[in-house]
Structure 1
Amino acid sequence: MDKSKPILVTGATGYIAGWIIERLLNQGYIVHATVRDPSKKDKIQHLYDIAEKSSGQIHFFKADLLQAGAFDESMKGCEIVIHTASPFVVTNYKDAVKDIIEPAVIGTENVLNSVNRTESVKRVVLTSSIASTYGDAIEILDTKNNEFDESHWNNTSSETHQPYPFSKVAAERKAWEMAEQQNRWDLVCINPALVMGPSLTANTQSGSVEVLQQFANGMTLLGVPPMWNGIVDVRDVADAHIQAASNTNAKGRYIISGGTLSLLEMGKILRQNFGNRFPFPRNQLPKSAFKLFGPFAGFSRSFVELNMGYPIYFNAQKSQQELGIQYRDIESSVVEHFQQLLDDGVVKKYL
């Protein structure tokens, strides 16, 4: 990567984007960062602070994912575009298409249309998700080695069944389609598992925050469902993006996962580190209980049938071999993330 050329990072206030920008600034790069509203200084102050202590520079640009041409200005002169901006809405949405799917797909399309208009761009690194590789946990039974890898695609999610995973796979497919229609720039996709670890700001929104809040607020005291998550430290995800941008041999998709933990294992790890100050789950409830009561807790019967009781695993060898990622201990990532939520007041002491 040429340090005289700026690098564009979209969705700069995001959890993953913050660490990517931190890495770039400390390595002396010029970062063009897009946000919805640069005048909201409280949302971006942490990035200004990092820039001030670093050898790099940061410049903010206003950009709306759904607005055509919104990324043209910020992309000028850039050889690398790292597109992290996408909605993370798994629950509490009104309209799956308008709130989740359209911003992900149209946003990706708008960014890549700007790439097509910007002659200097040579590579795009897209933040996708392991949700692009499978839709429901039961699909692990159809894998050859009892693990998902980069050859797998989510073909089962839809606008009505698992709309968030559908938004991720639809956006990634759109990106590959657009990449294949030209030959000036290449595309590398980063597909992280559930991201945990410290955030650079208390304003961060991520799916892992929601999981940890439920552990802390008593919602899972009676027990958790028999469900498993691939987990990865946010700093490893940031490093993977940097390697994907700078390594000329990087190509295709990369699963980024440090291992798998069940919800019960996560609860045990937190109890070992924070004691009984919180109502961390002690039990794993049987699938049959969720079939019976799931609909009252927001789990449809089809979701319970397809996603509970199937341990899922991910093959991250390609990222280790080609991007040189050495994964951090995911148990420490869970503990550090919870400690930060405590420090930031996001989680309150319960007992």
Structure 2
Amino acid sequence: MDKTVPVLVTGGSGFVGSHLVKRLLERGHLVHTTVRSTANAAKTKPLRAMQDRFPDRLRLCEADLLTEGSFDKAADGCGTVFHVASPFLVPDKIKDGRRDVVEPALHGTRNVLGAVDRTPAVRRLVLTSTVGAIFGDYIDVREMKNGVLSEEYVNTTSTVENNPYHYAKTAAEQAAWEAAKAQDRWSMVAVNPGLILGPSLTPASDSGSLFLLEELFKGYFFYGAPDFSFTTVDVRDVADAHIAAAENPDAHGRYILAAPAMTSFHDMSRILRAEYPRNLRLPRTRLPHWPVRVLGPAFGLTQDYIRKHLGIRFEVDNSRSVRELGLTYRPVEETVLDHYRAWRAPAG
């Protein structure tokens, strides 16, 4: 990336977007970033601090995922576009899957693609997708070669009713690939992270990954950790992967961003208890499966979800990200501890 040519990061006030903006500025880039409202002081505070730290290098622009043409001004003159903005809500926050998740993700991606097409300077689009565009439920991975998660598969099992977030991200990624193949001026790379953890720069973040761990931190599982595991990746590694995907001219296709081994609630608790042994909110044992099956529905887990996720672990093939993007993954212990410390900090 030519440092005299600006880059665009959509969703700069989000969990991933704010880290990406910070890393780009630290590396000497001129950055344009979009936020829904520049008047939202809580959301824009970290970005305003970056403007002070890097004078004349960061430009904030208002843009709405659902408003056609609203990204054109921000994209003007940019050589690289990082499309990070997308709603990620915890399931109980989703009232209408199509309205709350699918339309913002799909229409938002199409609006950004429109801006890319109308901006002659753009040569590379890096799209933030998810491992959820590769599989719908954990049980799907058992059908993959050797039961290992890899980039060659596309999620075909999620629907608007069953896992609208994964469905939306799959539809958005496929729409972007179609647009990329329909022209030859710009190229596209997709990054597909697992559950993104690590320290948040934005206390006002709505990221579902932050809510998910709050349940563990607040003591909801003090009686025992349910046997759910996650593909995990550090938000700082995700930011670095985006930049590598833009800088490496040979980068192409999709890149899974996740540790090779999954991390369970029990693993996270063990990591935290080693550092905070007196914290009685953290579970000391792993919960047997039967109480989760019995009590799960009271916590919003359907029997179908429990059957397709409880106790299921699989290996992750992240070799393309290591080999082609040069990624060195942080240890999960560092990520979980930094995530917890950042979560505690506002209260402290």
- 1:27 — aligned with what? 27
Which of 334, 337, 340 aligns to 1:338? It is: 340
- 1:252 — aligned with what? 253
Describe the shift of the 1:114–1:338 C-alpha distance in structure 2 as closer, same or farther (beyond 3 A): same
Q: Residue 14 of structure 2 aligns to which amino acid in structure 1?
A: G
Cα distance in 2 for partners of 1:188, 1:59 equals 24
Describe the shift of the 1:244–1:236 C-alpha distance in structure 2 as closer, same or farther (beyond 3 A): same
Q: Can you give the 5+ residue segments of structure 2 that lack an aligned partner in the other structure?
A: none
- 2:76 — aligned with what? 76
- Counterpart contact for 2:13–2:43, Cα < 8 Å: yes
Cα distance in 2 for partners of 1:25, 1:9 equals 12
CA RMSD of aligned residues (A): 1.5
TM-score by length of 1: 0.94
Q: Residue 323 of structure 1 aligns to which amino acid in structure 2?
A: L
Cα distance in 2 for partners of 1:69, 1:238 equals 26
Establish whether residue 299 from structure 1 lines up as the match of residue 301 from structure 2. yes
Instruction: Give matches, 1:221-236, under 5 Å.
Output: 221-236=222-237
Equivalent position SS for 1:77? coil
Q: Residue 136 of structure 1 aligns to which amino acid in structure 2?
A: D
- Per-residue CA deviations over 1:42-83 (Å, capped at 9, x if unaligned) read 422322322433477001111000001110111111110000
- 1:287 — aligned with what? 289
Cα distance in 2 for partners of 1:292, 1:24 equals 48
- Return structure 1 stretches of 4+ with deviation > 4 angstroms: none
Cα distance in 2 for partners of 1:171, 1:187 equals 13
Cα distance in 2 for partners of 1:265, 1:191 equals 23
Cα distance in 2 for partners of 1:178, 1:71 equals 17
Cα distance in 1 for partners of 2:144, 2:284 equals 31
Structure 1 vs Structure 2: percent identity of aligned residues?
39
CA drift of 1:285 comes to 2.4
Equivalent position SS for 1:85? coil
CA drift of 1:292 comes to 2.2
- Counterpart contact for 1:28–1:54, Cα < 8 Å: no
- Counterpart contact for 2:90–2:212, Cα < 8 Å: no
- 1:146 — aligned with what? 147
CA drift of 1:32 comes to 0.7
- Per-residue CA deviations over 1:3-56 (Å, capped at 9, x if unaligned) read 221101000101111111111111221111100011223422322322433477
Q: Residue 146 of structure 2 aligns to which amino acid in structure 1?
A: N
- Counterpart contact for 2:90–2:211, Cα < 8 Å: no
CA drift of 1:207 comes to 2.6
- Counterpart contact for 1:12–1:34, Cα < 8 Å: yes
Cα distance in 2 for partners of 1:202, 1:275 equals 26
Instruction: Give matches, 1:178-327, under 5 Å.
Output: 178-258=179-259, 259-327=261-329
- 1:85 — aligned with what? 85
- Counterpart contact for 1:129–1:190, Cα < 8 Å: yes
- 1:124 — aligned with what? 125
Cα distance in 2 for partners of 1:302, 1:176 equals 31
Once the two structures are overlaid, the 10-residue window that deviates more, 8-17 or 44-53, is 44-53
Cα distance in 1 for partners of 2:280, 2:8 equals 41
CA drift of 1:313 comes to 2.5
- Per-residue CA deviations over 1:59-117 (Å, capped at 9, x if unaligned) read 11110000011101111111100000000112222111100111011100110011111
Describe the shift of the 1:275–1:35 C-alpha distance in structure 2 as closer, same or farther (beyond 3 A): same
TM-score by length of 2: 0.95
Cα distance in 2 for partners of 1:56, 1:180 equals 35
CA drift of 1:136 comes to 0.8
- 2:165 — aligned with what? 164
Cα distance in 2 for partners of 1:249, 1:163 equals 33
Cα distance in 1 for partners of 2:167, 2:187 equals 24
Once the two structures are overlaid, the 10-residue window that deviates more, 63-72 or 275-284, is 275-284
Cα distance in 2 for partners of 1:312, 1:276 equals 32
- Per-residue CA deviations over 1:208-247 (Å, capped at 9, x if unaligned) read 3222211122211222322111111111000000011111
- Counterpart contact for 1:105–1:170, Cα < 8 Å: yes
Q: Residue 116 of structure 1 aligns to which amino acid in structure 2?
A: D
Q: Residue 285 of structure 2 aligns to which amino acid in structure 1?
A: N
Once the two structures are overlaid, the 10-residue window that deviates more, 52-61 or 5-14, is 52-61
Cα distance in 1 for partners of 2:95, 2:27 equals 42
- 1:41 — aligned with what? 41
Cα distance in 2 for partners of 1:38, 1:55 equals 18
CA drift of 1:128 comes to 0.5
Cα distance in 2 for partners of 1:256, 1:198 equals 17
- 2:102 — aligned with what? 101
Q: Residue 277 of structure 2 aligns to which amino acid in structure 1?
A: G
Once the two structures are overlaid, the 10-residue window that deviates more, 80-89 or 116-125, is 116-125
Cα distance in 2 for partners of 1:57, 1:80 equals 15
Cα distance in 2 for partners of 1:254, 1:149 equals 9
